[in-house]
Amino acid sequence: MFKKLKRSAEGAGVPHEKITATMETVQMPISKRLVIPMSMHIGAPAKPVVKKGDTVMVGTLIGEAGGFVSANIYSPASGTVAEVGTIRMPNGAAAATVVIDTDGEQKVDPSVKPPVVNDHDSLIQAVKDCGLVGLGGAGFPTHVKLCPATPVDTLVINGAECEPFLTPDTREFLECTDTVISGIEAVMKYCSIPNCIIGIETNKPECIKLMEERTSGMAGVSVKPLPSRYPQGAEKNLVETCTGREVPKTVPGERPRAGLPADVGCVVMNVTSVSTLGKFLKTGMPLVTKRVTVDGDACAKPMNVEVAIGTPYQDIIDFAGGIKEGKELGKVIYGGPMMGGCVSDTSFPLLKQNNGLLLFSREAAAIPEPQACIRCGRCINGCPMGLAPVQIAEAYKNKDVEALNKLNLDLCVLCGTCSFVCPAKRPVTQTMSLAKVLQRTGGK
């Protein structure tokens, strides 16, 4: 049924566990205190533009983009700035943060009003004013993506949602169809992109059917059923499956770089990202909330919940009923189980790009004891980027940066496929991550 493309390899047949796919989104009340980091995107952190004691409202600018590759940050609540300080991010880096004591009134800032968009420049300004970043997990500032250096003829909408457990994008298709459509129309019109392909995995037949019905009269727009195979949502895999175009490994030049979808005439946007743009163009309300899936074998009440950005994880866990009776909490993961991170402190806040909060019991979170590598090659066959993790591990062991460069380590997206398919249960992905640090630092 599906053509096997060059880059797609085998991937991994991860369990779907999409039990929340049919659960309508529930609105969570505003917490008493929100903690809002200024680093919730790839690129330069935002700069706080408020100070302790300032009054803020829903939609008040509290963090101004710190450069072109950056994004604005807005208050999700009305209240008072309790503190402008720092917070330790999951990767260990320190980031500026704005702490807001909410008043429960949710008064909207007078500046919140629909933008006037009539050309590409005004669309890009609207995207900046929305504070929009990639909401599928990457967090790349969207306005940068919509200003490609090369001509683009195809907008690819990422509706794969291939991580186990997560269903926010599924609910976006089903609950916010109108703004998905209006967001697509705006990007196609003002970025002069004639074609749009909406990629959705076949394990979401209701989304495929709905989008086929709603786009049947739209010129240049089509829906592409995708193989339900992880990591189908990785953008280079997605581009290849949807268009047949292979994003090049490297682009030559004075400073060679890894290939991007724009190099083959494509721009990729997550479905919730394009829908959020549609909402902003209609209402003028910037990105201040996020739908997340709360699930896992230790979760008392799995659900999809709309949460204010900056809400402490513990408040979300409590809203979902806490820990299931008879279960002992072993691990909390933000994001999906394949690419998400482990939470060491549940007082940490929800970020723009978070799309899941997974609670696992000690039994489910137990890590198997690794065995010796048997050179079976499953990690190589499964890698969506066509890499050789065994050779990379050897080069990392020898601190051979030149070999890591030749093995195209920079293409690794740390999807976790290699570890998942490894019969010896070796920490392959973790080794790849360490090797990327060695490569980035030049072995220093």
DSSP letters of 130-155? Answer: HT-B-TTTT--BHHHHTS-SS---EE
| Residues 378-400 pLDDT 10s | 999 999 888 999 999 999 999 99
* pLDDT digits 0-9 by tens, 71-96: 999 999 999 999 999 999 887 889 99
pLDDT at 2: 43
Q: Mean pLDDT throughout 193-211? A: 97
Hunting for tokens 């992109």 — which residue is that? 193
Whole-number pLDDT of residue 231:
93
Identity at 378, one-letter amino acid code: R
Contacts of 81 (CB under 8 A, 6+ apart): 50, 51, 52, 53, 54, 55, 56, 62, 98, 99, 100
Percent of the chain as helix, strand, coil, to the nearest 5: 30, 25, 50
Q: What is the full DSSP assignment across 299-334? A: BSS-EEEEEETT-BHHHHHHHTTSBPTT--EEEEEE
* pLDDT at position 8: 52
Average pLDDT over residues 310-319: 98
**Phi, psi (5° rounding) for residue 330?**
-110, -35
Residue 90 DSSP SS3: coil
Q: Please, which residues have CB within 8 angstroms of residue 267's CB and are 6 or more apart in sequence?
A: 145, 146, 148, 152, 154, 155, 156, 187, 191, 193, 261
pLDDT for residue 320 is more than 60: yes
pLDDT value of position 128: 98
The whole-number pLDDT of residue 137 equals 81
Is it the case that residue 10 has pLDDT exceeding 80? no
Q: What is the pLDDT of residue 81?
A: 98
SS3 263: helix
pLDDT bin (cut points 50, 70, 90) of residue 11 is confident
Instruction: For residue 434, name the pLDDT band (cuts at 50, 70, 90).
Output: very high
Set out the domains of the chain in order of their start, with CATH numbers: 30-102 (2.40.50), 120-283 (3.40.50.11540), 288-366 (3.10.20.600), 378-440 (no CATH)
Is 78 exposed, middle or buried, given 0-12, 13-18 or 19+ CB atoms closer than 10 A?
A: buried
Q: Is 91 helix (H, G, I), strand (E, B) or coil?
A: coil
- Judging by beta carbons within 10 Å of its beta carbon (0-12, 13-18, 19+), is residue 244 exposed, middle or buried? exposed
Residue type (1 letter), 374: I
List alpha helices for 348-427, DSSP H: 362-365, 378-382, 389-397, 401-406, 417-421
pLDDT score, position 154: 98
Kindly state the percentage of the chain with pLDDT values over 90: 87
Q: Work out whether the CA dihedral 310, 313, 315, 320 comes out positive or negative.
A: positive
Query: Considering only CA atoms, which of 194, 184, 170 is closest in space to residue 215?
Result: 184
Question: pLDDT, tens digit, for every residue of 250-260?
Answer: 787 767 777 89
pTM, 2 dp: 0.94
Alpha helix (H) residue ranges in 245-303: 271-283
Which pLDDT score is estimated for 331? 96
Q: Can you tell me whether residue 190 is helix, strand or coil?
A: helix
Q: Per residue in 180-191, pLDDT tens? A: 999 999 999 999
- For residue 433, CA distances in Å to 195, 212, 271, 289, 428 come to 36, 39, 28, 30, 9
Give CA–CA dist 333/344, Å, rounded.
Answer: 9
**What digits encode the pLDDT tens for the residues 263-283?**
999 999 999 999 999 999 999
Task: Cis check for the bond before 231: say yes or no (omega within 30 of 0).
Answer: yes
